[in-house]
Structure 1
Amino acid sequence: MTADIPTRRRGPYRKSDGRRRAILAAALQVFSSSGYRAGSLRDIGMVAGIDPSSILHHFPTKEALLQAVLEDKEEHDLENLPSPEQVAPRDIPTALLRLAERNDRVPDAVALYAVLAAESTTAGHPSAEYFRMRTERTRRDFRELFEHMDAAGLLAEGIDPEYAARSTFAMWDGIQTHWLIDRTAVSVTDTLRRHLQSITRVSEI
Protein backbone atom coordinates (compact mmCIF):
# COMPACT_ATOMS: atom_id res chain seq x y z
CA MET A 1 0.00 0.00 0.00
CA THR A 2 1.56 3.27 -1.08
CA ALA A 3 1.11 6.58 0.65
CA ASP A 4 -0.50 9.42 -1.22
CA ILE A 5 2.07 11.95 -2.39
CA PRO A 6 0.95 15.47 -1.57
CA THR A 7 0.88 17.81 -4.52
CA ARG A 8 1.45 21.54 -4.52
CA ARG A 9 -1.82 23.25 -5.38
CA ARG A 10 -2.80 26.83 -5.84
CA GLY A 11 -5.16 27.46 -2.97
CA PRO A 12 -8.32 29.46 -3.53
CA TYR A 13 -7.02 32.19 -1.21
CA ARG A 14 -4.08 32.81 -3.58
CA LYS A 15 -6.37 33.18 -6.56
CA SER A 16 -8.66 35.41 -4.51
CA ASP A 17 -5.76 37.62 -3.40
CA GLY A 18 -4.55 37.96 -6.98
CA ARG A 19 -8.04 38.95 -8.12
CA ARG A 20 -8.27 41.48 -5.30
CA ARG A 21 -4.96 43.07 -6.31
CA ALA A 22 -6.15 43.27 -9.92
CA ILE A 23 -9.35 45.03 -8.84
CA LEU A 24 -7.40 47.54 -6.71
CA ALA A 25 -5.05 48.31 -9.61
CA ALA A 26 -7.98 48.78 -12.00
CA ALA A 27 -9.86 50.96 -9.51
CA LEU A 28 -6.79 53.14 -9.03
CA GLN A 29 -6.58 53.64 -12.80
CA VAL A 30 -10.28 54.44 -13.20
CA PHE A 31 -10.63 56.68 -10.14
CA SER A 32 -7.47 58.62 -11.02
CA SER A 33 -8.68 59.34 -14.55
CA SER A 34 -12.44 59.78 -13.97
CA GLY A 35 -12.82 60.53 -10.28
CA TYR A 36 -14.87 58.54 -7.79
CA ARG A 37 -18.33 59.62 -8.89
CA ALA A 38 -17.80 59.21 -12.63
CA GLY A 39 -15.75 56.03 -12.38
CA SER A 40 -18.10 53.05 -12.40
CA LEU A 41 -17.77 49.42 -11.35
CA ARG A 42 -18.38 48.58 -14.99
CA ASP A 43 -15.34 50.63 -15.99
CA ILE A 44 -13.25 48.98 -13.29
CA GLY A 45 -14.42 45.54 -14.37
CA MET A 46 -13.46 46.26 -17.98
CA VAL A 47 -9.96 47.34 -16.96
CA ALA A 48 -9.53 44.33 -14.65
CA GLY A 49 -11.01 41.95 -17.22
CA ILE A 50 -13.73 40.64 -14.93
CA ASP A 51 -17.49 40.91 -14.57
CA PRO A 52 -18.43 43.98 -12.48
CA SER A 53 -20.56 41.80 -10.19
CA SER A 54 -17.41 39.89 -9.21
CA ILE A 55 -15.99 43.06 -7.68
CA LEU A 56 -18.71 42.98 -5.04
CA HIS A 57 -17.47 39.58 -3.84
CA HIS A 58 -14.27 41.30 -2.70
CA PHE A 59 -15.58 44.80 -1.87
CA PRO A 60 -19.21 45.04 -0.72
CA THR A 61 -19.68 48.60 -1.99
CA LYS A 62 -18.01 51.06 -4.32
CA GLU A 63 -17.23 53.19 -1.28
CA ALA A 64 -15.44 50.24 0.37
CA LEU A 65 -13.39 49.79 -2.80
CA LEU A 66 -12.39 53.46 -2.77
CA GLN A 67 -11.32 53.17 0.87
CA ALA A 68 -9.24 50.08 0.08
CA VAL A 69 -7.49 51.87 -2.79
CA LEU A 70 -6.64 54.84 -0.58
CA GLU A 71 -5.40 52.63 2.26
CA ASP A 72 -3.25 50.61 -0.15
CA LYS A 73 -1.67 53.78 -1.51
CA GLU A 74 -1.07 55.19 1.96
CA GLU A 75 0.51 51.95 3.18
CA HIS A 76 3.14 52.22 0.44
CA ASP A 77 3.67 55.93 1.18
CA LEU A 78 4.26 55.32 4.88
CA GLU A 79 6.88 52.71 4.04
CA ASN A 80 8.83 55.38 2.16
CA LEU A 81 8.29 58.48 4.32
CA PRO A 82 11.30 58.92 6.63
CA SER A 83 10.86 59.38 10.36
CA PRO A 84 13.09 61.51 12.60
CA GLU A 85 14.39 58.34 14.28
CA GLN A 86 15.47 56.79 11.00
CA VAL A 87 17.41 59.58 9.32
CA ALA A 88 20.00 62.17 10.33
CA PRO A 89 18.74 65.79 10.26
CA ARG A 90 21.02 66.76 7.37
CA ASP A 91 19.73 63.82 5.28
CA ILE A 92 16.01 64.67 5.61
CA PRO A 93 15.82 66.81 2.42
CA THR A 94 17.43 64.01 0.41
CA ALA A 95 14.99 61.48 1.87
CA LEU A 96 12.04 63.67 0.84
CA LEU A 97 13.47 63.99 -2.68
CA ARG A 98 13.70 60.20 -2.93
CA LEU A 99 9.97 60.02 -2.13
CA ALA A 100 9.28 62.59 -4.85
CA GLU A 101 11.31 60.53 -7.33
CA ARG A 102 9.32 57.43 -6.37
CA ASN A 103 6.07 59.30 -7.02
CA ASP A 104 7.34 60.23 -10.49
CA ARG A 105 7.25 56.51 -11.30
CA VAL A 106 3.61 56.04 -10.22
CA PRO A 107 1.67 58.82 -11.99
CA ASP A 108 -1.68 57.01 -11.61
CA ALA A 109 -1.33 57.04 -7.83
CA VAL A 110 -0.38 60.74 -7.85
CA ALA A 111 -3.34 61.50 -10.10
CA LEU A 112 -5.64 59.56 -7.79
CA TYR A 113 -4.76 61.82 -4.88
CA ALA A 114 -4.94 65.01 -6.95
CA VAL A 115 -8.38 64.15 -8.37
CA LEU A 116 -9.91 62.77 -5.19
CA ALA A 117 -8.49 65.46 -2.90
CA ALA A 118 -10.21 68.12 -5.00
CA GLU A 119 -13.37 66.04 -5.38
CA SER A 120 -13.51 65.38 -1.61
CA THR A 121 -14.28 69.06 -0.95
CA THR A 122 -17.74 68.59 -2.49
CA ALA A 123 -20.74 67.85 -0.28
CA GLY A 124 -21.27 64.23 0.69
CA HIS A 125 -18.08 62.83 -0.84
CA PRO A 126 -17.14 59.51 0.84
CA SER A 127 -13.43 60.35 1.11
CA ALA A 128 -13.88 63.79 2.70
CA GLU A 129 -12.95 62.60 6.20
CA TYR A 130 -10.03 60.55 4.85
CA PHE A 131 -8.47 63.57 3.15
CA ARG A 132 -9.09 65.80 6.16
CA MET A 133 -7.21 63.33 8.36
CA ARG A 134 -4.56 62.72 5.72
CA THR A 135 -3.86 66.45 5.46
CA GLU A 136 -3.49 66.79 9.23
CA ARG A 137 -1.30 63.69 9.46
CA THR A 138 1.00 64.69 6.59
CA ARG A 139 1.43 68.21 7.95
CA ARG A 140 2.25 66.74 11.38
CA ASP A 141 4.77 64.28 9.91
CA PHE A 142 6.48 67.05 7.95
CA ARG A 143 6.55 69.28 11.03
CA GLU A 144 8.27 66.55 13.06
CA LEU A 145 10.93 66.17 10.37
CA PHE A 146 11.59 69.90 10.27
CA GLU A 147 11.63 70.10 14.08
CA HIS A 148 14.41 67.51 13.91
CA MET A 149 16.30 69.77 11.50
CA ASP A 150 15.58 72.87 13.57
CA ALA A 151 17.04 71.24 16.69
CA ALA A 152 20.23 70.66 14.68
CA GLY A 153 20.31 74.29 13.52
CA LEU A 154 19.59 73.34 9.91
CA LEU A 155 16.57 75.52 9.11
CA ALA A 156 17.21 78.81 7.30
CA GLU A 157 17.03 82.05 9.25
CA GLY A 158 13.44 83.10 9.90
CA ILE A 159 12.02 79.66 9.04
CA ASP A 160 10.21 77.74 11.78
CA PRO A 161 9.15 74.05 11.58
CA GLU A 162 5.44 74.86 11.17
CA TYR A 163 6.02 77.15 8.19
CA ALA A 164 8.50 74.69 6.68
CA ALA A 165 5.93 71.89 6.95
CA ARG A 166 3.01 73.89 5.53
CA SER A 167 4.96 75.44 2.66
CA THR A 168 6.57 72.14 1.66
CA PHE A 169 3.28 70.26 1.74
CA ALA A 170 1.44 72.96 -0.24
CA MET A 171 4.20 73.41 -2.79
CA TRP A 172 4.61 69.64 -3.30
CA ASP A 173 0.89 69.04 -3.86
CA GLY A 174 0.64 72.06 -6.16
CA ILE A 175 3.63 71.24 -8.35
CA GLN A 176 2.44 67.65 -8.69
CA THR A 177 -0.80 68.98 -10.18
CA HIS A 178 1.19 71.07 -12.67
CA TRP A 179 3.22 67.97 -13.52
CA LEU A 180 0.08 65.91 -14.13
CA ILE A 181 -1.20 68.55 -16.54
CA ASP A 182 2.07 68.73 -18.49
CA ARG A 183 4.88 66.40 -17.45
CA THR A 184 7.35 68.08 -19.82
CA ALA A 185 6.84 71.56 -18.38
CA VAL A 186 7.91 71.03 -14.77
CA SER A 187 9.96 68.68 -12.61
CA VAL A 188 8.50 67.92 -9.20
CA THR A 189 11.86 66.79 -7.85
CA ASP A 190 13.81 69.81 -9.12
CA THR A 191 11.20 72.26 -7.82
CA LEU A 192 11.09 70.53 -4.44
CA ARG A 193 14.89 70.56 -4.28
CA ARG A 194 15.04 74.33 -4.81
CA HIS A 195 12.33 74.86 -2.19
CA LEU A 196 14.18 72.74 0.38
CA GLN A 197 17.42 74.58 -0.36
CA SER A 198 15.65 77.89 0.30
CA ILE A 199 14.19 76.92 3.69
CA THR A 200 17.11 74.91 5.09
CA ARG A 201 20.86 75.33 5.52
CA VAL A 202 21.48 72.19 3.49
CA SER A 203 22.56 73.23 0.00
CA GLU A 204 24.07 69.92 -1.11
CA ILE A 205 20.85 68.07 -1.85
Structure 2
Amino acid sequence: MGSKVGESSPKGKKRRAQILREADLLFAEQGYLGASLHQLAERIGFTQSGLLHHFKSKEQLLFAVLEEHFTQDSERAGFEGTNRQSSVLESLRPLAEHNTANPMWTRFFCIMAAESLTVGHPAAEYMRNRYAMVRADWAAEVALQMRQGRIRPDIDPVALATLLIAVSDGLQVQWLHDDSVDLLAGIELLGRVLDPWLVEGAAGVGAAAQ
Protein backbone atom coordinates (compact mmCIF):
# COMPACT_ATOMS: atom_id res chain seq x y z
CA MET A 1 0.00 0.00 0.00
CA GLY A 2 2.71 2.44 -1.03
CA SER A 3 2.29 6.05 -2.07
CA LYS A 4 2.49 7.58 -5.51
CA VAL A 5 5.29 9.74 -6.82
CA GLY A 6 4.87 13.37 -5.81
CA GLU A 7 2.84 12.56 -2.71
CA SER A 8 5.70 13.73 -0.48
CA SER A 9 5.46 17.31 -1.78
CA PRO A 10 3.43 19.81 0.30
CA LYS A 11 0.80 20.00 -2.44
CA GLY A 12 0.64 16.21 -2.69
CA LYS A 13 0.28 15.82 1.08
CA LYS A 14 -2.51 18.40 1.16
CA ARG A 15 -4.42 16.67 -1.61
CA ARG A 16 -3.92 13.27 0.00
CA ALA A 17 -5.28 14.59 3.32
CA GLN A 18 -8.28 16.05 1.49
CA ILE A 19 -8.96 12.75 -0.23
CA LEU A 20 -8.76 10.85 3.08
CA ARG A 21 -11.17 13.26 4.78
CA GLU A 22 -13.76 12.97 2.02
CA ALA A 23 -13.31 9.20 1.71
CA ASP A 24 -13.88 8.91 5.46
CA LEU A 25 -17.18 10.76 5.11
CA LEU A 26 -18.27 8.87 2.00
CA PHE A 27 -17.55 5.45 3.50
CA ALA A 28 -19.38 6.51 6.68
CA GLU A 29 -22.42 7.55 4.64
CA GLN A 30 -22.57 4.68 2.15
CA GLY A 31 -20.17 2.02 3.36
CA TYR A 32 -17.27 0.75 1.34
CA LEU A 33 -19.48 -1.39 -0.89
CA GLY A 34 -21.89 1.45 -1.67
CA ALA A 35 -19.27 4.12 -2.37
CA SER A 36 -17.43 4.60 -5.65
CA LEU A 37 -14.26 6.39 -6.71
CA HIS A 38 -16.36 8.35 -9.19
CA GLN A 39 -18.51 9.73 -6.36
CA LEU A 40 -15.44 10.60 -4.33
CA ALA A 41 -13.74 12.35 -7.26
CA GLU A 42 -16.86 14.45 -7.88
CA ARG A 43 -17.08 15.48 -4.21
CA ILE A 44 -13.54 16.85 -4.13
CA GLY A 45 -13.44 18.24 -7.66
CA PHE A 46 -10.94 15.71 -8.99
CA THR A 47 -11.04 13.59 -12.08
CA GLN A 48 -11.00 9.89 -11.32
CA SER A 49 -7.54 9.62 -12.91
CA GLY A 50 -6.38 12.46 -10.66
CA LEU A 51 -7.67 10.58 -7.64
CA LEU A 52 -5.87 7.43 -8.76
CA HIS A 53 -2.63 9.40 -8.88
CA HIS A 54 -2.72 9.44 -5.07
CA PHE A 55 -4.47 6.11 -4.37
CA LYS A 56 -4.35 3.43 -7.01
CA SER A 57 -7.61 1.74 -5.95
CA LYS A 58 -10.65 2.09 -3.72
CA GLU A 59 -9.31 -0.77 -1.63
CA GLN A 60 -6.02 1.03 -1.01
CA LEU A 61 -7.95 4.14 0.00
CA LEU A 62 -10.04 2.14 2.46
CA PHE A 63 -6.95 0.73 4.15
CA ALA A 64 -5.41 4.22 4.36
CA VAL A 65 -8.51 5.54 6.15
CA LEU A 66 -8.62 2.55 8.50
CA GLU A 67 -4.93 2.80 9.34
CA GLU A 68 -5.08 6.52 10.06
CA HIS A 69 -8.01 6.19 12.46
CA PHE A 70 -6.88 3.07 14.26
CA THR A 71 -3.39 4.45 14.83
CA GLN A 72 -4.98 7.45 16.53
CA ASP A 73 -7.29 5.18 18.56
CA SER A 74 -4.33 3.17 19.86
CA GLU A 75 -2.64 6.38 21.00
CA ARG A 76 -5.82 7.57 22.75
CA ALA A 77 -6.21 4.21 24.53
CA GLY A 78 -2.75 4.61 26.06
CA PHE A 79 -1.32 1.29 24.91
CA GLU A 80 1.36 2.82 22.68
CA GLY A 81 4.88 3.34 24.05
CA THR A 82 5.11 4.56 27.63
CA ASN A 83 1.86 6.56 27.65
CA ARG A 84 -0.13 3.92 29.55
CA GLN A 85 -3.37 4.60 31.38
CA SER A 86 -3.71 3.47 34.99
CA SER A 87 -6.43 0.92 34.15
CA VAL A 88 -8.09 -0.78 31.21
CA LEU A 89 -11.41 0.87 32.05
CA GLU A 90 -9.77 4.29 31.98
CA SER A 91 -8.59 3.60 28.44
CA LEU A 92 -12.24 3.46 27.34
CA ARG A 93 -13.00 7.03 28.42
CA PRO A 94 -10.80 8.96 25.95
CA LEU A 95 -12.03 6.70 23.16
CA ALA A 96 -15.67 7.31 24.11
CA GLU A 97 -15.10 11.05 24.35
CA HIS A 98 -13.47 11.10 20.93
CA ASN A 99 -16.22 8.99 19.37
CA THR A 100 -19.04 11.18 20.65
CA ALA A 101 -17.21 14.24 19.33
CA ASN A 102 -16.64 12.55 15.95
CA PRO A 103 -19.87 10.74 15.03
CA MET A 104 -18.91 10.17 11.38
CA TRP A 105 -15.79 8.26 12.43
CA THR A 106 -17.86 6.20 14.86
CA ARG A 107 -20.38 5.51 12.10
CA PHE A 108 -17.55 4.52 9.72
CA PHE A 109 -16.11 2.11 12.27
CA CYS A 110 -19.47 0.49 13.04
CA ILE A 111 -20.23 0.09 9.34
CA MET A 112 -16.82 -1.46 8.71
CA ALA A 113 -17.21 -3.84 11.66
CA ALA A 114 -20.49 -5.15 10.22
CA GLU A 115 -19.83 -4.79 6.48
CA SER A 116 -16.49 -6.62 6.71
CA LEU A 117 -18.42 -9.76 7.66
CA THR A 118 -19.77 -9.98 4.10
CA VAL A 119 -18.20 -12.56 1.82
CA GLY A 120 -15.13 -11.27 0.01
CA HIS A 121 -14.95 -7.91 1.76
CA PRO A 122 -11.40 -6.51 1.45
CA ALA A 123 -11.29 -5.41 5.10
CA ALA A 124 -12.41 -8.74 6.56
CA GLU A 125 -8.95 -9.86 7.64
CA TYR A 126 -7.97 -6.34 8.70
CA MET A 127 -10.97 -5.98 11.04
CA ARG A 128 -10.52 -9.50 12.41
CA ASN A 129 -6.88 -8.77 13.15
CA ARG A 130 -7.78 -5.40 14.64
CA TYR A 131 -10.21 -6.96 17.12
CA ALA A 132 -7.63 -9.63 17.99
CA MET A 133 -4.98 -6.96 18.59
CA VAL A 134 -7.23 -4.86 20.83
CA ARG A 135 -8.29 -7.93 22.83
CA ALA A 136 -4.66 -8.91 23.25
CA ASP A 137 -3.64 -5.40 24.35
CA TRP A 138 -6.40 -5.10 26.91
CA ALA A 139 -5.93 -8.68 28.13
CA ALA A 140 -2.22 -7.97 28.63
CA GLU A 141 -3.08 -4.90 30.69
CA VAL A 142 -5.49 -6.94 32.84
CA ALA A 143 -2.80 -9.60 33.35
CA LEU A 144 -0.30 -6.92 34.32
CA GLN A 145 -2.66 -5.51 36.95
CA MET A 146 -3.17 -9.05 38.27
CA ARG A 147 0.57 -9.45 38.75
CA GLN A 148 0.61 -6.09 40.53
CA GLY A 149 -2.11 -7.32 42.90
CA ARG A 150 -4.62 -4.71 41.68
CA ILE A 151 -7.08 -7.19 40.16
CA ARG A 152 -8.36 -10.46 41.63
CA PRO A 153 -6.45 -13.46 40.23
CA ASP A 154 -9.44 -15.55 39.11
CA ILE A 155 -10.42 -13.24 36.22
CA ASP A 156 -9.91 -14.49 32.66
CA PRO A 157 -8.04 -11.54 31.04
CA VAL A 158 -9.22 -12.37 27.52
CA ALA A 159 -12.85 -12.76 28.63
CA LEU A 160 -12.76 -9.38 30.39
CA ALA A 161 -11.15 -7.72 27.38
CA THR A 162 -13.82 -9.22 25.12
CA LEU A 163 -16.56 -7.92 27.44
CA LEU A 164 -15.12 -4.39 27.43
CA ILE A 165 -14.98 -4.33 23.63
CA ALA A 166 -18.54 -5.65 23.39
CA VAL A 167 -19.91 -2.99 25.74
CA SER A 168 -18.01 -0.18 24.04
CA ASP A 169 -19.03 -1.21 20.51
CA GLY A 170 -22.61 -1.94 21.54
CA LEU A 171 -23.01 1.47 23.13
CA GLN A 172 -21.69 3.10 19.96
CA VAL A 173 -24.26 1.34 17.77
CA GLN A 174 -27.14 2.30 20.08
CA TRP A 175 -25.92 5.90 20.24
CA LEU A 176 -25.76 6.13 16.44
CA HIS A 177 -29.35 4.94 16.21
CA ASP A 178 -30.53 7.22 19.02
CA ASP A 179 -28.38 10.14 20.20
CA SER A 180 -30.32 10.33 23.46
CA VAL A 181 -28.30 7.27 24.54
CA ASP A 182 -25.54 8.56 26.81
CA LEU A 183 -22.44 6.72 25.66
CA LEU A 184 -20.16 8.29 28.25
CA ALA A 185 -22.60 7.55 31.09
CA GLY A 186 -22.67 3.92 29.98
CA ILE A 187 -18.88 3.70 30.18
CA GLU A 188 -18.88 5.33 33.61
CA LEU A 189 -21.55 2.91 34.86
CA LEU A 190 -19.53 -0.03 33.58
CA GLY A 191 -16.59 1.21 35.63
CA ARG A 192 -18.70 1.56 38.78
CA VAL A 193 -20.09 -1.96 38.34
CA LEU A 194 -16.79 -3.65 37.54
CA ASP A 195 -14.37 -1.81 39.81
CA PRO A 196 -15.59 -3.37 43.11
CA TRP A 197 -15.83 -6.83 41.54
CA LEU A 198 -12.29 -6.67 40.16
CA VAL A 199 -10.77 -6.07 43.59
CA GLU A 200 -8.90 -9.11 44.89
CA GLY A 201 -10.96 -10.99 47.47
CA ALA A 202 -14.34 -9.73 46.23
CA ALA A 203 -16.90 -12.48 45.62
CA GLY A 204 -19.13 -10.28 43.46
CA VAL A 205 -20.62 -6.82 43.12
CA GLY A 206 -23.11 -7.33 45.91
CA ALA A 207 -20.54 -8.77 48.28
CA ALA A 208 -18.10 -5.99 47.55
CA ALA A 209 -20.70 -3.35 48.31
CA GLN A 210 -21.65 -4.82 51.68
TM-score range, shorter chain: 0.7 to 0.9
TM-score by length of 2: 0.81
SS state at 2:191 partner? helix
Residue 116 of structure 2, aligned match among 114, 120, 134: 120
Residue 71 of structure 1, aligned match among 62, 67, 70: 67
Unaligned runs of 5+ in 2: 1-6, 200-210
Residue 21 of structure 1, aligned match among 4, 17, 23: 17
Q: CA deviation at 1:112?
A: 1.0
Residue 107 of structure 1, aligned match among 103, 106, 109: 103
Letter in 1 for 2:31: G
1:177 aligns with 2:173: yes
Unaligned runs of 5+ in 1: 1-10
Residue 52 of structure 1, aligned match among 48, 54, 57: 48
SS state at 2:107 partner? helix
TM-score by length of 1: 0.83
Aligned to 2:146: 150
Change (3 A) 1:53 1:149: same
Q: Verify the 8 A CA contact 2:116 2:122 in the aligned structure 1.
A: yes
Aligned length: 191
> Taking every aligned residue pair, what percent have the same amino acid on both sides?
32
Counterparts of 1:136 and 1:14 in 2: how far apart (Å)?
36
Comparing 40-49 and 138-147, the one that deviates more: 40-49
Aligned to 1:6: none
Counterparts of 2:42 and 2:60 in 1: how far apart (Å)?
19
Change (3 A) 1:192 1:70: same
Q: Which has the larger radius of gyration?
A: 1
Q: CA deviation at 1:158?
A: 5.9
Aligned to 1:199: 194
Q: CA deviation at 1:106?
A: 1.5
Q: Verify the 8 A CA contact 2:77 2:94 in the aligned structure 1.
A: no
Q: CA deviation at 1:49?
A: 3.0
Q: CA deviation at 1:109?
A: 1.3
Q: Verify the 8 A CA contact 1:156 1:200 in the aligned structure 2.
A: no
Q: CA deviation at 1:75?
A: 1.6
Letter in 2 for 1:20: R
Residue 187 of structure 1, aligned match among 182, 188, 194: 182
Q: CA deviation at 1:199?
A: 2.0
1:80 aligns with 2:76: yes
Counterparts of 1:42 and 1:116 in 2: how far apart (Å)?
20
Over the aligned positions, Cα root-mean-square deviation in angstroms equals: 2.4
